[in-house]
Amino acid sequence: MRRTYLVSLGIAAAIAAALALSTEPVAGQAATRALRTSWGDPDLQGTWTNSTTTPLERPSDVAGKVTLTPQERAARDATLSAAAAVQRPPQPGDTGFYNAFWLEAGKSSARTSLLVDPPDGKLPALTPGARKQADALEAVRRRPPTSWMDMNTYDRCISRGLPGAMMPGFYNHNYQILQTPAYVAIVVEMIHDARIIPLDGRPHLGPGLKQWLGDSRGRWEGETLVVETRNFNDKIKEFTTNFMRLPNGEPLGEGYYASFGTADMTLVERFTRVDANTIDYRFTVTAPRTFVKPWTATAPLTKLDGRVFEYACHEGNYAVRHMLSGARAQEQAAARRKSGGQ
């Protein structure tokens, strides 16, 4: 189904200006010297990917180990590649899953986890209220949906929210960054989110105005773009930490984080161009209603030569309606059997 997106004139103008002012990185420039835009800011522009098989949380088999040796990395990559090649046949009544052709998982990094804090590489505990909510969400997902409200915003192709939109997964985790002196724009391939980040020092919106991706404000601290986001709308609720799975059903690591958002969350991101092909990207989540303490993760961005394509989300176009109609058909069939009918 073809989609039409309405973009405000202000956003369109910002992106058009960014395209006009964009500069290409200088080939062979030393890694210790930041690439610059024509107006002098560190240059983050281009297309990037954060695909990696490094899990968010540190797996138990490397507990206490922060980094891997090159030999250990190669062995892990070979194991995951072999597992991805094993296709699990669909169960009765199951439509199956993508095969390995569709996956863009990337390779492992030297780190054993994307989490850098807490030092043990594990997410902080959920608060009692968040744990209760997570258990309720899991219970909903284990039964046929009663309405579209039983499905999360990822199922419905609305948004992965933050930090999920900036985290790696199984495919399409590509980004286009555009800059002007007053704005940075980040176009996210997965579920077509677009972030427009002002750099002009304006204050955050008032707390009464909540947004899917929050309210972002950026500033330069030396060579690093620091983006602080608050005022999330509290509509994205997902606590999945075993999000990424291989086609054979095995989890890819122990802790891929999908998406979540709470109205009290503050997200602080840091983008640092370290060489022609790499942006050091890391972020800190502070969400007192969800986690007992803040946590920080890193998801480096690697330069791509290609472009970001349209993300056409057929789940939102078709699957939600079909899942609901299928669940109602099952209920009607059960009612007929109970009443003695056929």
- Tell me the pLDDT tens digit for each residue of 164-180: 899 887 788 899 999 99
pLDDT at residue 8 greater than cutoff 50: no
Lowest mean pLDDT, pick from 32-36, 79-83, 233-237: 32-36
Lowest mean pLDDT, pick from 3-17, 86-100, 288-302, 307-321: 3-17
The pLDDT, as a whole number, for residue 342 is: 59
**C-alpha separations of 132 from 136, 138, 234, 240 in Å:** 6, 10, 16, 14
Q: What is the mean pLDDT of residues 92-101?
A: 70
Lowest mean pLDDT, pick from 70-84, 119-133, 212-226: 70-84
Q: Identify the CA nearest to 178 among candidates 13, 6, 9.
A: 13
Q: Identify the CA nearest to 307 among candidates 187, 194, 176, 179.
A: 176
The pLDDT, as a whole number, for residue 40 is: 96
pLDDT at residue 246 greater than cutoff 70: no
Q: 309 versus 279: which is more confidently predicted?
A: 279
The pLDDT, as a whole number, for residue 60 is: 84
Q: 1 versus 152: which is more confidently predicted?
A: 152
The pLDDT, as a whole number, for residue 316 is: 67
Q: What is the mean pLDDT of residues 120-143?
A: 84
Confidence label for 301 from pLDDT (cuts 50, 70 and 90): very high
Within 10 A of 291 (CB to CB), how many other CB atoms are there?
19
Half-sphere exposure of 97 (CA within 13 A, CB side): 17
Cα–Cα distance for residue pair 11/210, rounded to 1 Å: 19
The pLDDT, as a whole number, for residue 260 is: 60
Cα-trace Rg, the chain: 21
Q: What is the mean pLDDT of residues 236-260?
A: 49
DSSP E strand boundaries for the chain: 46-49, 115-117, 174-179, 183-188, 194-198, 215-221, 224-230, 266-275, 278-286, 295-298, 301-304
The pLDDT, as a whole number, for residue 318 is: 79
The pLDDT, as a whole number, for residue 98 is: 67
DSSP 159: -
Query: What's the token pair of residue 60?
Result: 């138990």
172: left (phi over 0), alpha (psi -120 to 50) or beta: left
Q: What is the mean pLDDT of residues 233-252?
A: 55
Cβ proximity of 53 and 111 under 8 Å: no
Q: What is the mean pLDDT of residues 272-296?
A: 95
The pLDDT, as a whole number, for residue 46 is: 97
Q: What is the mean pLDDT of residues 331-341?
A: 87
Cβ proximity of 199 and 37 under 8 Å: no
Local structure of 155: helix, strand or coil: coil
Lowest mean pLDDT, pick from 40-49, 88-97, 130-139, 171-180: 88-97
Q: 246 versus 312: which is more confidently predicted?
A: 312
Q: Identify the CA nearest to 111 among candidates 165, 168, 53, 167.
A: 53
Local structure of 148: helix, strand or coil: helix
